[in-house]
C-alpha cells in the first residue's frame, strides 16, 4: 500500500522524544469512570465518556504543556499528509484516528533514531561487553503499552467493520468487544468500508518497522488479513444501497489484494496457515476463558479465497511443514512441542485431517502427478526432523499422510513416495544393474546415513502405520531379501537398526498371504533362486559412525583368498539359516512357522523320493561335454539343496517349540508329510529305524487327537479325511503288523467321525501320551512289555466305555464325545487335572514301578507325579508314606539333576504331611558317617532339611534343638565340605529363628569362634564368617536384643579375622559383617527422628 510521508521536518524529528509519544498513547488509554454497573447501556456510556475525556485531555496537553509542542508539530505534519478524515460524529472513530496518528509518529521517530544511531567501535580490551543498544528499541513496559494501543485500534477500527462470517465476531472475543460492537455508529461519516481501509492501511504502514511489525502480526494478523480479504476480494455492488455506503475503487482494491499477499509471504508461515484456516471456517477455536467461539458461516467467496491461499502456501518451498505446523501449533502444541505435545501426538483424528488435506490435489496444480512430484519430497522430510518431541508429531502426520496417499492414488504414491524410500535397498538387489563406475571394489553403494534413514522410514511407514495396503506390501516384497541379509548382518554385531529390521520382517510376513510368505521364507533360506536377493558383488560393512554401509566386494586374487571366500560363503549361509530359525521362532503364533516347517517336511519327502540310479544312467548317456557339465552342475545344485533342507530341518527342530502347530490343518499336513515320506521310503526299500519311529509318532498323534485330547468338529474331520488315502497305502504296504492295524483303525475312526473307536486307536493314544517307548528303538523287549501294559489298560478302558455307551443308549444320552483316552493313563506330568481320590491302586503301582525306570524322563515324571499326589493329600498315596520316603531317598543318590531335585521336592512335601516322622529320620541320615552315605547324598539331605525349614515357617521352633544340635555336630565332621554345608544351614536356620534362639546363641557363638580361628580349611572359615554376616543381616535392628549377650564376642572375632586372617575372601566377609554391625549400632544409639503426632487420652 502507499505509505504516508516517510520524513518530516528535520528539526522536529531531532528534538521529538520517544518517551513523549508513549506518554501520549498512555494518556489515550487511561481508564475513566466506573464500570461497576451491570447494565449494558451503562457500560457503553462509561466507555463513550472515557474516550471523549481522553481525547480532550490529549488536546489540552498539546495546547497547554510546552513539553508536548514538538510532538504536536509532528502529529500535525503527519495529519496534513493523510487522506482520511480524522474527525467524526462517531467518537470511536475520532479516538481511532488520533491513535493511528500517534502510531505513525512513533514509527517515524523510531526510524529516525535508528538512522542517526552510530555505535562506537567495540573495545578489544573488553570483548565480553554487550554492544550498545539501538535507541529505537522498546523496553518491556513500552512494548506492553504499544500492544494495548494496537488492541484498541484493532477492536475499534477493524473488527466492527467486518462482514458477518469474515473473521471471528467481535462479540465472541472479549466482553469489551461486545460493548464496542454496540457503541460504533456505522451511519456516521466516514463509511465503514473507508474506516476499515484506513485502519488496515495505517497498521501496515506502521508494521514497516520490524519491532512494531512483530507486535502487530503476532497478535492481530488474523484480523488484518480478514479486513484485507474483505477489502480486496469481496464482491462489490454496482450502486450503494445506502447513501453512506462507499465502494472502494479498483486501485484501492488492487492495493488491498497486493498487501494481503505481501503479508502472507512476510509472516511466519504456520501462523498464516492457521489464520487462513480460521477464516475459512475451520474447527471452532477455544477462547482464553475456556468457551468455544461460535461464528457465522464464512461466505462462499471467502472460503474459495482461503482455499486458494492455503493451496499457495502448500505449494511453496517447505509448504508442507508450514501447513502441518499451522494446524498442530494452533491446537496448542507450540513451536517446539509445548505442554500438550503428548496429547497431540496421540490425536489421530487431527493427523487424519492433515493427511486428507495434503493428499487432496488443489485446483491450482497442473495435474495430480505434478502436485505429488512437488509435495512428496516434503512429506518424506517430515520423517527426518531432529527435535524429538516435535519429530514425534510430525512423523505421525507423515505416516498417516503416506498411508492416505497410498490408499487414494497408489500409482503416484509408489512412484514418488515408495520408490525414493526404498531406493537404497533396490540399488543392491541381484536384479539391479550396477553402473560400471560403481563396480570398482570398495565403492560405497549405500552410505551409512542412507541405509539408516531408509530402514527407519520403512519402519515408520509400515510397522507404525500398520496398514497392509496392496501397494505397500507389493513395494516391499522385492527388497525382503536385502532386508533379511541386513538383519542377519546386524545379528552378528551391535546395531541400532537390528530391532527395526526384525520388526519390519515380522510385520510383512504376518501381513502377506500365506503362500507369498512361505515363498519369501524359501528365498531367505536359498531354496528359491527366483526370489530377488542381495547382490553377490555387494557386502555389508561396519561404518565409522557405528552404522552399516553397503560396498562392492574386493576381488579374489589368490587361492588362499578363494578358500577364505568359500569359508565365508558357507558360514554366512549357515548363519542365515540359524537367523531364519530365530525369526520363525517369533512367528509361531500366526502359524507361519508351522506352515514353513510342513513345507520343509514335504521337500524332505521329495528328496527321499528321488531316484539316484536314473540320474546316473543319464550321466553315462550324455553325448557332449557341455551337456555333461550342465548335468554335473545340476547334480551339485541338487546336493546343495538337499543339504540345505536337512540343515533347515535341524535348525527348525532345535529352535521352534512344541507349540509350532496352531490348528488342526497344520497337524494334519504334518502327519500327511510324514506318511508320504514313509511311503516313499517303502517304495525305494529304504526303511530305517528313525523313519519307523517318526511314522509311529505321527500316527500316535492322530490317535491322541481322535482319542479326545482335542475337541474335534465336523470341519476338523473333513480335514482329517485327507489322510485316508495315505493311511490305506500304509496299511497295505508297511511291513509292521501293529502299524498296519493302527492305520486301518485310524481310517475307520476318521471315516465314521469317531463314532466307531477301535481298540488299536486307544492303545496308540495311551502309548503316545505316556511316551514310554524306547526313543532309540534298541530294546525290543521293553517295547513289548510296554505294549502289553498299554493294551491291558486300553482293554479295561474300552470295556468301561462300551458299558457306558450301553447305559447312555438306554437312558437316551449321547456318548459321541466320550474321550477315548482313560484319565488314569495320562502322562504323570499332566496330572494336574486329576481330582482328589481319583487314583487307583493299579495306577499307583504303575507310577511306583516307573520311579525305578532306567529312562531318566520317565523316572523324574513318576517322582513328580508322586509329589503331586502327596500335595493333593491322596489317601492311597499317603497310606504308603514309608515306601514313598524310601523311593525318594533312594533317588536322592541319582546323579541326574532332574531326578534328585524331583526327589527332594517329594521328601519336602512328605515331611509337610508328617514332619515328626520324616524330619528326625532325615536328621539322623544327615548326621551319619561317611561310610553309610556318600558326601553328595548328605549334602542333598541338607538341602531337603533347609527346604523343610522354609516350608515349616514359624513352626520350625518346635524342632529348634534337634536341628541346631545336628548342624553343630556337623561342624566337627572330618569332611570339610560337610562342615561348610552345616555352617551354611546353621546360618539360614538362625535367620528364621530370630528371638527363638534363646540360650542356644551361646553355643552357636562358641562354635563360630572356634571354627573361624582354628579350622584348617579356608572354605570352612569363610562359611563361619558368612554365618555371622547372615545372622546380622537377617536380624537387623533385632540383633541388639537377640545377640545381646554375645555381640561383644562376635565383634572381637570379626576384628581378629580382619587383622590376622590370611584369606582375602574371609576378610571381605568379616568387613561386611562389621559394616552391618556398625549400621545396627548407629541406628540403636542414634535412632532417626520421626515427626509424628500422638494423641493422648487424659483420664
DSSP characters for 555-578?
PP-SHHHHHHHHHHHHHHHHHHHH
Q: What is the pLDDT of residue 422?
A: 93
pLDDT of residue 686: 56
Give the model's confidence band at 764: pLDDT under 50 very low, under 70 low, under 90 confident, else very high. low
CA 626 centroid distance within chain = 57
Residue 1047, classed as helix, strand or coil, is: helix
Q: Give me the count of residues in the chain.
A: 1099
Give the number of C-alpha atoms closer than 13 A to the C-alpha of residue 909, restricted to the C-beta side. 23
Strand bridging mode 538-542 / 548-552:
antiparallel
Best CA proximity match to 604, nearest among 574, 660, 647, 658: 647
- State the pairing for strand pair 444-446/538-542: unpaired
pLDDT of residue 771: 45
pLDDT the model gives residue 560: 62
Q: Which residue has the cell 490348528?
A: 663
Give me the DSSP letters along 613-678: HHHHHHHHT--SHHHHHHHHHHHHHHHHHHHHHHHHHHHHHHHS-TT---SHHHHHHHHHHHHHHH
585 touches 597 (CB < 8 A)? no
Helices then strands, counting H and E runs in the chain, come out as 49, 3
Q: What is residue 482's predicted lDDT score, i.e. its pLDDT?
A: 92
Alpha-carbon torsion (779, 785, 791, 797), positive or negative:
negative
- Cell 551354611 belongs to 984
DSSP-assigned letter for residue 538: E
CA distance 894 to 900: 6
Give the residue, 711 or 485, on which the prediction is more confident: 485
Residue 728 CB contacts under 8 Å (≥ 6 apart), including other chains: 743, 747
Could you read off the pLDDT of 774-825 as tens digits, one per residue?
333 333 333 333 333 333 433 443 344 334 433 333 333 333 333 332 333 3
CA angle 868, 871, 874 (to 5 degrees): 85
pLDDT, position 458: 93
Rounded Cα distance, 682 and 693, in Å: 14
> What mean pLDDT value characterizes the chain?
77
* Separation of alpha carbons 29 and 57, rounded Å: 11
SS3 10: helix
Q: 9 pLDDT band (50/70/90 cuts)?
A: very low
pLDDT confidence bin for 928, thresholds 50/70/90: confident
Tell me, what's the pLDDT at 1095? Answer: 80
Q: Which of 275-284, 811-820, 878-887, 1046-1055 has the lowest mean pLDDT?
A: 811-820
Asked whether the predicted pLDDT for residue 728 surpasses 50, the reply is yes
DSSP state of 551: E
Question: Tens digit of pLDDT for each residue in 938-955?
Answer: 888 888 888 887 887 777
Backbone angles phi, psi at 539, to 5 degrees: -150, 150
pLDDT bin (cut points 50, 70, 90) of residue 663 is: confident
More confident residue, 315 or 633: 315
- Which of 440-454, 554-568, 936-950, 991-1005 shows the lowest mean pLDDT across its residues? 554-568
Span 415-442, pLDDT tens digits = 999 999 999 999 888 887 788 777 788 8
Q: What pLDDT does 549 receive? A: 92
Cell numbers placing 681: 521310503
State percent of the chain over pLDDT 70: 80
Query: What's the whole-number mean pLDDT along residues 490-502?
Result: 89
- pTM, 2 dp: 0.62
Higher pLDDT, residue 101 or 1043: 101
Higher pLDDT, 129 or 343: 129
What's the pLDDT score for residue 1089? 72
Per-position b or e across 185-198, b if 16+ CB within 10 A of its CB:
eeebebbbbbbbbb
Phi, psi of 163 (to 5 degrees): -70, 160
Range with the poorest average pLDDT among 81-95, 294-308, 550-564 = 550-564
Find the range with the poorest average confidence among 126-135, 190-199, 378-387, 576-585: 126-135
Model confidence band, residue 123 (pLDDT cutoffs 50, 70, 90): low
Question: CB of 293 within 8 A of CB of 284?
Answer: yes
- What distance lies between CA 193 and its chain's CA centroid? 58
Q: Determine the pLDDT at residue 657.
A: 66
Mean pLDDT of 733-738: 79
- CA–CA distance from 887 to each of 612, 892, 912, 926 (Å)? 56, 9, 17, 17
What pLDDT does residue 1013 have? Answer: 84
Q: For residue 943, give the DSSP letter.
A: H
Q: Provide the pLDDT for residue 832.
A: 35
H/E segment holding residue 1078: helix 1064-1085
- Residue 689's pLDDT is 62
Mean pLDDT value across residues 630-659: 77
Average pLDDT (904-913) is 79
pLDDT bucket at 294, cuts 50 / 70 / 90: very low
Query: How far lies 898's CA from each of 770, 864, 893, 981, 1068, in Å?
Result: 18, 10, 12, 22, 35
- For 444, phi then psi, to 5°, come to -85, 115
Q: Residue 201's pLDDT band (boundaries 50, 70, 90)? A: very high
**What pLDDT is stored for residue 258 in this prediction?**
92
- Inter-residue contact 707 to 821 (CB < 8 Å): yes
- What is the percentage of the chain residues whose pLDDT exceeds 90? 11
Region 310-334: what's the mean pLDDT? 78
Q: Which residue has the higher pLDDT, 208 or 744?
A: 208
pLDDT for residue 541 is more than 50: yes
| 726 alpha-carbon distance from chain centroid | 47
**Above 70 in pLDDT, residue 234?**
yes
Helix, strand, coil content of the chain in percent (nearest 5): 70, 0, 30
* SS3 call for 446: strand
Please spell the DSSP secondary structure of 251-279, one letter per residue: HHHHHHHHHHHHHHHHS-HHHHHHHHHHH
Are 827 and 770 contacting, i.e. CB atoms less than 8 angstroms apart? yes
Q: Which residue has the higher pLDDT, 831 or 744?
A: 744
Question: Which has the minimum average pLDDT: 292-306, 748-762, 1004-1018?
Answer: 748-762
Question: Which pLDDT belongs to residue 668?
Answer: 83
- Secondary structure class of 587 (helix, strand, coil): coil
Q: Is 783 exposed, middle or buried (0-12, 13-18, 19+ CB in 10 A)?
A: middle
Q: What is the pLDDT of residues 215-224, one digit of tens each?
A: 999 989 999 9
Of 25-29, 644-648, 678-682, 812-816, highest mean pLDDT: 25-29
Residue 983's φ and ψ, nearest 5 degrees, are -65, -40
3-state class of 753 per DSSP?
A: coil
Residue 1070's pLDDT is 84
Per-range mean pLDDT, top range of 140-149, 631-640, 696-705, 1064-1073: 140-149
CA distance 451 to 482: 11
User: What does the pLDDT read at residue 683?
Assistant: 65
Whole-angstrom distance, CA of residue 888 vs CA of residue 892:
6
The residue among 734 and 684 whose pLDDT is bigger is 734
Higher pLDDT pick, 604 / 405 = 405
Of 457, 534, 541, 468, the closest CA to residue 506 belongs to: 468
The answer to whether 962 and 921 have CB atoms below 8 angstroms apart is no
pLDDT of residue 824: 34
Q: Is the pLDDT of residue 862 over 50?
A: yes
| Alpha helix segments (H runs only) across 512-558 | 514-525
Count Cβ neighbours within 10 Å for each residue of 723-736 and write b for 16 or more, e otherwise: beebbebbbeebee
Is the model's pLDDT at 1077 over the cut of 90? Answer: no
- The answer, yes or no, to whether the previous bond of 454 is cis (omega within 30 of 0) is no
* pLDDT for the residue 12: 44
Amino acid at each position: 500500500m502507499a505509505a504516508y510521508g516517510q520524513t518530516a521536518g528535520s528539526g522536529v524529528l531531532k528534538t521529538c522524544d520517544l518517551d513523549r509519544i508513549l506518554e501520549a498513547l498512555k494518556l489515550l488509554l487511561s481508564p475513566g469512570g466506573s464500570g461497576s454497573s451491570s447494565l449494558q447501556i451503562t457500560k457503553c456510556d462509561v466507555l463513550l465518556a472515557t474516550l471523549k475525556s481522553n481525547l480532550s485531555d490529549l488536546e489540552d496537553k498539546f495546547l497547554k504543556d510546552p513539553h508536548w509542542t514538538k510532538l504536536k508539530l509532528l502529529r500535525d505534519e503527519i495529519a496534513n499528509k493523510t487522506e482520511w478524515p480524522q474527525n467524526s460524529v462517531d467518537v470511536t472513530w475520532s479516538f481511532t484516528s488520533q491513535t493511528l496518528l500517534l502510531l505513525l509518529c512513533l514509527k517515524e521517530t523510531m526510524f529516525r533514531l535508528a538512522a542517526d544511531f552510530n555505535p562506537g567501535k567495540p573495545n578489544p580490551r573488553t570483548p565480553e561487553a554487550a554492544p550498545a543498544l539501538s535507541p529505537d528499541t522498546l523496553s518491556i513496559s513500552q512494548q506492553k503499552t504499544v500492544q494495548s494501543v494496537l488492541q484498541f485500534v484493532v477492536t475499534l477500527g477493524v473488527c466492527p467493520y467486518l462482514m458477518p462470517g469474515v473473521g471471528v465476531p467481535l462479540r465472541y472475543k472479549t466482553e469489551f468487544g461486545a460493548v464496542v460492537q454496540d457503541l460504533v455508529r456505522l451511519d456516521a461519516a466516514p463509511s465503514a468500508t473507508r474506516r476499515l481501509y484506513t485502519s488496515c492501511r495505517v497498521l501496515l504502514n506502521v508494521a514497516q518497522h520490524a519491532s512494531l511489525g512483530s507486535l502487530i502480526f503476532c497478535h492481530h494478523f488474523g484480523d488484518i488479513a480478514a479486513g484485507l480479504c474483505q477489502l480486496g476480494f469481496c464482491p462489490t455492488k454496482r450502486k450503494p444501497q445506502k447513501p453512506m455506503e462507499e465502494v472502494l475503487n479498483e486501485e484501492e482494491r488492487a492495493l488491498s489484494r497486493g498487501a494481503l499477499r505481501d503479508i502472507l509471504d512476510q509472516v511466519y508461515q504456520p501462523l498464516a496457515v492457521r489464520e487462513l484456516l480460521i477464516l475459512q471456517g475451520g474447527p471452532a477455536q477455544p477462547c482464553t476463558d475456556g468457551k468455544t467461539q461460535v461464528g457465522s458461516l464464512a461466505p462462499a467467496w471467502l472460503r474459495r479465497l482461503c482455499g486458494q491461499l492455503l493451496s499457495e502456501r502448500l505449494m511453496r518451498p517447505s509448504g508442507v511443514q508450514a501447513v502441518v505446523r499451522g494446524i498442530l501449533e494452533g491446537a496448542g502444541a507450540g513451536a517446539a512441542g509445548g505442554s500438550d505435545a503428548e496429547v497431540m501426538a496421540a490425536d489421530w483424528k487431527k493427523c487424519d485431517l492433515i493427511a486428507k488435506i495434503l493428499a487432496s490435489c488443489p485446483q491450482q496444480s497442473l495435474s495430480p502427478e505434478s502436485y505429488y512430484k512437488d509435495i512428496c519430497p516434503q512429506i518424506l522430510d517430515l520423517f527426518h526432523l531432529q527435535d524429538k518431541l516435535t519429530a514425534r508429531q510430525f512423523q505421525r502426520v507423515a505416516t498417516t499422510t503416506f498411508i492416505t496417499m497410498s490408499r487414494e492414488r497408489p500409482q503416484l504414491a509408489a512412484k514418488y513416495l515408495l520408490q525414493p524410500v526404498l531406493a537404497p535397498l533396490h540399488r543392491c538387489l541381484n536384479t539391479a544393474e550396477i553402473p560400471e563406475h560403481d563396480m570398482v571394489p570398495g565403492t560405497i553403494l549405500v552410505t551409512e546415513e542412507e541405509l539408516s534413514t531408509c530402514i527407519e522410514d520403512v519402519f515408520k511407514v509400515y510397522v507404525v502405520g500398520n496398514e497392509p495396503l496392496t501397494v505397500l506390501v507389493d513395494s516391499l516384497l522385492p527388497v525382503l531379501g536385502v532386508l533379511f541379509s541386513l538383519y542377519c548382518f546386524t545379528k552378528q554385531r551391535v546395531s541400532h537398526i537390528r530391532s527395526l529390521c526384525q520388526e519390519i520382517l515380522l510385520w510383512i510376513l504376518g501381513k502377506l498371504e500365506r503362500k507369498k510368505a512361505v515363498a519369501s521364507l524359501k528365498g531367505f533360506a536359498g531354496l528359491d533362486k527366483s526370489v530377488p536377493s542381495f547382490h553377490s558383488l555387494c557386502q555389508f560393512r561396519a561404518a565409522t559412525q557405528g552404522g552399516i554401509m553397503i560396498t562392492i566386494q574386493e576381488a579374489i586374487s589368490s587361492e588362499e583368498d578363494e578358500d577364505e571366500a568359500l569359508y565365508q560363503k558357507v558360514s554366512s549361509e549357515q548363519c542365515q539359516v540359524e537367523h531364519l530359525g530365530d525369526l520363525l521362532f517369533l512367528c509361531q503364533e500366526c502359524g507361519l512357522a508351522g506352515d514353513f516347517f510342513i513345507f520343509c517336511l514335504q521337500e524332505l519327502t521329495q528328496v527321499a523320493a528321488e531316484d539316484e540310479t536314473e540320474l546316473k544312467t543319464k550321466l553315462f548317456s550324455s553325448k557332449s561335454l557341455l551337456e555333461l557339465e550342465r548335468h554335473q552342475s545340476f547334480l551339485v545344485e541338487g546336493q546343495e539343496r538337499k543339504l540345505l533342507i536337512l540343515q533347515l530341518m535341524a535348525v527348525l527342530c532345535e529352535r521352534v517349540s512344541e507349540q509350532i502347530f496352531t490348528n488342526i490343518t497344520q497337524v494334519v499336513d504334518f502327519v500327511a508329510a510324514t506318511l508320504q515320506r514313509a511311503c516313499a521310503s517303502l517304495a525305494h526299500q529304504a526303511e530305517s529305524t528313525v523313519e519307523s519311529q517318526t511314522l509311529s509318532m505321527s500316527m500316535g498323534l492322530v490317535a491322541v487327537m481322535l482319542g479326545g485330547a482335542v475337541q474335534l468338529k465336523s470341519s476338523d474331520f473333513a480335514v482329517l479325511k485327507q489322510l485316508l488315502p495315505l493311511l490305506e497305502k500304509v496299511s497295505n504296504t508297511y511291513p509292521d503288523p501293529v502299524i498296519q492295524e493302527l492305520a486301518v483303525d485310524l481310517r475307520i475312526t476318521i471315516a465314521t467321525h469317531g463314532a466307531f473307536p477301535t481298540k488299536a486307536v486307544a492303545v496308540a493314544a495311551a502309548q503316545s501320551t505316556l511316551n514310554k517307548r524306547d526313543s532309540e528303538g534298541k530294546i525290543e523287549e521293553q517295547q513289548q512289555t510296554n505294549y502289553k501294559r498299554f493294551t491291558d489298560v486300553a482293554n479295561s478302558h474300552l470295556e468301561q466305555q462300551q458299558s457306558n455307551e450301553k447305559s447312555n443308549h438306554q437312558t437316551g444320552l449321547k456318548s459321541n464325545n466320550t474321550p477315548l483316552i482313560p484319565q488314569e493313563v495320562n502322562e504323570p506330568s499332566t496330572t494336574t487335572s486329576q481330582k482328589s481320590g481319583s487314583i487307583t491302586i493299579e495306577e499307583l503301582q504303575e507310577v511306583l514301578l516307573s520311579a525305578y525306570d532306567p529312562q531318566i524322563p520317565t523316572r523324574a515324571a513318576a517322582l513328580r507325579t508322586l509329589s503331586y499326589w502327596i500335595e493333593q493329600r491322596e489317601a492311597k498315596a499317603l497310606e504308603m508314606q514309608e515306601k514313598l520316603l524310601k523311593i525318594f531317598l533312594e533317588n536322592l543318590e541319582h546323579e541326574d539333576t532332574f531326578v534328585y531335585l524331583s526327589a527332594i521336592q517329594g521328601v519336602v512335601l512328605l515331611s509337610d504331611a508328617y514332619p515328626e516322622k520324616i524330619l528326625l529320620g532325615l536328621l539322623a541320615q544327615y548326621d551319619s558317617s561317611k561310610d553309610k552315605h556318600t558326601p553328595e547324598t548328605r549334602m542333598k539331605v541338607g538341602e531337603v532339611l533347609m527346604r523343610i525349614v522354609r516350608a515349616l515357617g514359624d513352626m520350625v521352633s518346635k524342632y529348634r534343638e534337634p536341628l541346631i544340635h545336628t548342624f553343630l555336630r556337623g561342624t566337627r565332621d572330618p569332611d570339610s565340605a560337610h562342615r561348610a554345608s552345616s555352617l551354611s544351614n546353621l546360618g539360614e536356620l538362625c535367620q528364621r529363628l530370630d528371638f527363638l534362639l534363646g540360650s542356644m546363641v551361646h553355643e552357636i557363638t562358641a562354635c563360630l569362634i572356634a571354627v573361624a580361628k582354628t579350622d584348617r580349611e579356608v572354605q570352612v572359615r569363610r562359611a563361619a564368617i558368612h554365618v555371622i554376616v547372615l545372622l546380622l543381616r537377617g536380624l537387623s535392628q533385632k540383633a541388639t536384643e537377640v545377640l545381646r549377650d554375645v555381640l561383644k564376642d562376635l565383634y572381637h572375632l570379626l576384628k581378629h579375622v580382619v587383622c590376622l586372617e590370611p584369606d582375602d575372601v574371609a576378610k571381605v566377609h568379616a568387613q561386611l559383617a562389621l559394616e552391618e554391625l556398625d549400621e545396627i549400632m548407629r541406628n540403636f544409639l542414634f535412632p532417626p527422628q520421626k515427626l509424628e503426632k500422638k494423641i493422648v487420652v487424659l483420664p
